[in-house]
Amino acid sequence: MRVYHFSEEPYPDVWTPDRPTLRVTLPNELCDPKRANELYHRYVDEWMLADQLGFDIMLNEHHSTATCLTASANLMLAILARVTKNARLLVLGVPVCNRQDPVRIAEEMSMIDVISGGRLEFGMIKGVPYEIAPANSQPTRMMDRFWEAHDIIVKAMTTHNGAFNFEGEFFHHRTVNIWPRPWQQPHPPIWSSTSTPANAKEIGVRGYVCGSFMGGIEETRKLHKAYAEGYREGGFGNEVPVDRFGYLAMCATANTEAEGRRRADMIADYLRTNAQVADPFNKPPGYFSVDAAFRSMRSPNPRAFRTLMTPKGRPVELSTATLDDFIECGIAFAGTPDQVYEQICSFVDGIGGLGNLLLMGQGGHLNHEETVDSITLFGKQVLPRLKARYVPEMKFAA
């Protein structure tokens, strides 16, 4: 099993519950560049420590927000490609439908792959609804644009005999010929993330790595199943290697249960602030299908961020959930190293296997010393046990 350390590089100093929005329209006068400078360097230090401890590294990007200072994952990846030594560098992901130029993405990803000596894990994602406004991106037919961008990126990474022509519905390039070409052949491992079985199946058909975020045991099982269907349909074999799936949860470890829980509760503000978005930017037209938009308007709580079921069938709304709710759902692991290990094993066995565990080990107000202590304890006392128990040769349980 690979375990990735993830942080959104938050700027939590201005997170107050009374702000109607932390995203899109929050004025950047609230962002002190000197404070942001400290934070960037701090988060890089934490990723470097994670690298030394044997973690892999995950990052993503968001825009116009105090919840995430990584406005360009590619820029941070370029730094990490240079300053880390062993970690796989997972971006999950690059919002390919919010970018004007997919060829530029192929170039940047190839650069990072080469600088890092072949450590890039390349995630392509649709992006969350409130990323539409900062990108001024067309919210209709996004998945059509997504797959066309994907096609040109993969072709750009795998074409080595000179320029090719691409005149698609959305993207036009007459002379595509990227330098450098990627280190990893034929291209870096491709990931995508989803919360719906239909998309999980589509990712499976292509044999890519499927990331799922904080869906808990019940939803993740469904995604597993759909992925496996697609994987078999794609002709990759009947048994799905566990490295084809990744799962993101929050995690905090400490010497005492109480301290571990306190830390996890701070990280969980990541989820609780997700609903703090000015209304019009939450549901861009066309981002959701008409049917999905209809169901949302007819639901008892149209402003809900995301509601999950616990294994016992109790609904939990993530933007208002308690830490115990998160632990029960399998979207937070918290406590002493032994407790965290047990919780993770129970989750992984519950979903039928996992090759990539993505852990938000820093979030919200969790400070540098706390983060260092938490990931060090995990790295020394949990990570070796997980790697011994879940070996890469494992397959999904049917």
- Binding positions for another protein, rule: CB under 8 A: 133, 136, 138-141, 278-281, 284-286, 290, 293-294, 297-298, 302
Toward another protein, which CB reaches closer, 142 or 156? 142
Question: Most distant CA pair in the chain: distance in Å?
Answer: 60
Asked if 15 contacts 272 with a C-beta cutoff of 8 angstroms, the reply is: no
Toward another protein, which CB reaches closer, 258 or 292? 292
Structure tokens at 140: 């209709």
Nearest distance, CB of residue 152 and another protein, angstroms:
20
Q: Are strands 190-193 and 172-176 parallel, antiparallel or unpaired?
A: unpaired
Toward another protein, which CB reaches closer, 302 or 384? 302
The rounded distance, in Å, linking the Cα atoms of 212 and 223 is 8
Toward another protein, which CB reaches closer, 132 or 321? 132
Asked if 357 contacts 344 with a C-beta cutoff of 8 angstroms, the reply is: yes
Asked if 334 contacts 327 with a C-beta cutoff of 8 angstroms, the reply is: yes
The residues near 230 (Cβ < 8 Å, ≥ 6 apart) are: 200, 201, 202, 203, 204, 205, 206
Nearest distance, CB of residue 108 and another protein, angstroms:
24
Give the closest residue to 150 by CA, choosing from 204, 194, 191: 191
Toward another protein, which CB reaches closer, 294 or 392? 294
Nearest distance, CB of residue 136 and another protein, angstroms:
6
Beta strand extents in 39-178 (DSSP E only): 56-59, 89-95, 120-125, 164-167, 172-176
Structure tokens at 60: 């993503």
Toward another protein, which CB reaches closer, 38 or 101? 101
Nearest distance, CB of residue 145 and another protein, angstroms:
12
Nearest distance, CB of residue 97 and another protein, angstroms:
13
Nearest distance, CB of residue 101 and another protein, angstroms:
16
Nearest distance, CB of residue 93 and another protein, angstroms:
23
Nearest distance, CB of residue 269 and another protein, angstroms:
25
Query: In this structure, what are the phi and psi dihedrals at residue 377, rounded to the nearest 5 degrees?
Result: -60, -45
Toward another protein, which CB reaches closer, 137 or 343? 137
| Angle between helical axes of 257-267 and 337-351 (0-180°, round to 10) | 60
3-state helix, strand, coil in the chain (%, to 5): 45, 15, 35
The rounded distance, in Å, linking the Cα atoms of 281 and 300 is 20
Toward another protein, which CB reaches closer, 28 or 346? 28
